[in-house]
């Protein structure tokens, strides 16, 4: 049971949602947008999260869209991980989200919730980063479509009152060759020790990581090393490890040294797999 009272709203449009956020915030109320609610409910029960008002976005049509329109795939922020996995319009994304949680929890976790939530791994963002996706963001001042790579730096950089409405993926990226490797401490379905997604964009490998640092990331410097034809595979791995853009995680799941070792093995596996496909 959640140990505090809060106001609940379920708007039918994005405009109504952002206007509600603005109006409630102006009354000095703590407001959150609410998708699947898994994080809010579990954390609020322990008083690790608080809100005076929640705005449920699940009735907003744009937030539930999951289909192609011309050359773009639109994925609403309220689309559940199970929908993404089962409908399988973007195979790499489907593969990644299948291993984020068991199917019962996947029914509740939304794409937006996984990207914006406080859990550090945010694995669903990996395919979206390397597919050069756009995001549609909106608040009281208006709507913007912007590259995800420009507004994601350790977390999604949202303006005040801004909600994630949709992610847009170019159709060509959906069909590129891909690899995903995830290592966990115990079970197949668990938080990652290391999760790596890669797409081969013509002759260039795009790659993103989760579980290596305290945030998911795509690093252009690492991609440059990975795609340097003059480097042997071992040298690529050594240089990538030297150029990790943050402190490597060291926790009960695994030490820094173990994660470095695992990273080398995964990079080697991805390079070999792509080579075999040629």
Integer Cα distance of 5 and 136 in angstroms: 31
Record: fold of 61-173: 3.30.465
The per-residue pLDDT for 43 is 67
pTM exceeds 0.85: yes
Look at domain 177-277 and name its CATH class: alpha beta
Is the pLDDT confidence value at 42 over 90?
Answer: no
> What does the mean pLDDT of the chain come to?
93
Is the pLDDT confidence value at 41 over 70?
Answer: no
Report the pLDDT averaged over residues 22-49: 82
Of the listed ranges 105-114, 158-167, 242-251, the one predicted with least confidence: 105-114
Report the pLDDT averaged over residues 44-73: 90
Give start and end residues of each alpha helix (H) in the chain: 14-25, 38-45, 61-64, 81-87, 91-98, 103-106, 111-116, 125-130, 148-151, 171-174, 220-226, 233-242, 256-277
Structural domain boundaries in the chain: 7-56, 61-173, 177-277
* Cβ atoms 178, 197 nearer than 8 A: yes
Q: Which residue has the higher pLDDT, 18 or 119?
A: 18
Band (241; pLDDT cuts 50, 70, 90): very high
The per-residue pLDDT for 10 is 96
Closest CA to 15 of 180, 172, 110, 140: 140
Phi-psi region of 211 (alpha: psi -120 to 50; beta: other; left: phi over 0): left
Q: Write the pLDDT tens digit of every residue in 170-226.
A: 999 999 999 999 999 876 667 899 999 999 998 999 999 999 999 999 999 999 999
| Percent of the chain residues past pLDDT 90, beyond the cut | 81
* Cβ atoms 102, 117 nearer than 8 A: no
Integer Cα distance of 210 and 215 in angstroms: 7
By three-state DSSP, how is residue 137 classified?
strand
The per-residue pLDDT for 35 is 84
Give the alpha-carbon dihedral of 74, 60, 83, 190, to 10 degrees: 100
Radius of gyration of the chain (CA): 19
Report the pLDDT averaged over residues 89-118: 90
Q: Which residue has the higher pLDDT, 186 or 26?
A: 26
């Amino acid at each position: 049971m959640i140990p505090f009272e809060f106001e609940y709203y379920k708007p039918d449009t994005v405009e109504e949602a952002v206007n509600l956020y603005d109006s409630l915030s102006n009354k000095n109320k703590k407001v959150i947008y609410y998708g699947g609610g898994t994080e809010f409910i579990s954390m609020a029960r322990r008083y690790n999260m608080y809100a005076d008002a929640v705005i449920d976005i699940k009735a907003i049509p744009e937030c539930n869209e999951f289909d192609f329109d011309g050359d773009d795939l639109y994925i609403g922020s309220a689309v559940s991980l199970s929908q993404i996995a089962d409908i399988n319009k973007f195979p790499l994304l489907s593969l990644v989200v299948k291993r984020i949680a068991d199917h019962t929890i996947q029914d509740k976790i939304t794409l937006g919730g996984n990207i914006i939530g406080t859990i550090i791994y945010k694995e669903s963002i990996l395919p979206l980063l390397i597919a050069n996706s756009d995001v549609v963001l909106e608040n009281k001042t208006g709507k913007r479509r912007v590259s995800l790579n420009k507004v994601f730096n350790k977390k999604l950089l949202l303006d005040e009152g801004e909600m994630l409405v949709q992610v847009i993926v170019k159709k060509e990226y959906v069909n590129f060759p891909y690899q995903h490797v995830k290592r966990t401490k115990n079970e197949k379905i668990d938080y990652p020790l290391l999760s790596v997604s890669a797409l081969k964009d013509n002759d260039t490998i795009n790659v993103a990581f989760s579980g290596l640092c305290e945030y998911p990331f795509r690093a252009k410097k690492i991609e440059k090393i990975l795609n340097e034809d003059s480097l042997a595979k071992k040298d690529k791995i050594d240089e990538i490890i030297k150029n990790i853009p943050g402190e490597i995680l060291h926790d009960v799941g695994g030490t820094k040294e173990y994660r470095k070792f695992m990273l080398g093995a995964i990079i080697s596996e991805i390079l070999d797999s792509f080579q075999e496909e040629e």
